[in-house]
């Protein structure tokens, strides 16, 4: 069986899920029942943003490193 990578979950997709969840919470007689899901999505969003930020820093460092290496030659 071939290994298939799951799709990447983006910050935008998590934001979309939070929007939809807010809609359902607003229509619910017991919106607090959705709070565990809300909390999980908020945590996932924070982690996704942290990963995105770290990757951006790594890319910037690589770009800077290549520039400095080229200047030394």
Give the integer Cα–Cα distance in Å for 25 and 53. 30
The predicted pLDDT at position 65 comes to 86
Q: How far apart are the first and last CA of the chain?
A: 48
Predicted model pTM: 0.76
Tokens matching residue 65? 């490193």
Task: Give the start-to-end residue ranges of the domains of the chain.
Answer: 11-72
pLDDT reported for residue 6: 78
| Mean pLDDT calculated for residue range 22-34 | 98
């Amino acid at each position: 069986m071939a290994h298939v990578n799951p799709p990447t979950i983006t910050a935008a997709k998590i934001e979309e899920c939070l929007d939809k969840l807010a809609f359902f919470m607003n229509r619910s007689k017991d919106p607090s029942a959705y709070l565990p899901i809300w909390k999980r999505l908020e945590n996932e969003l924070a982690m996704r943003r942290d990963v995105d930020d770290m990757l951006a820093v790594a890319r910037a460092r690589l770009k800077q490193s290549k520039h400095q290496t080229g200047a030394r030659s």
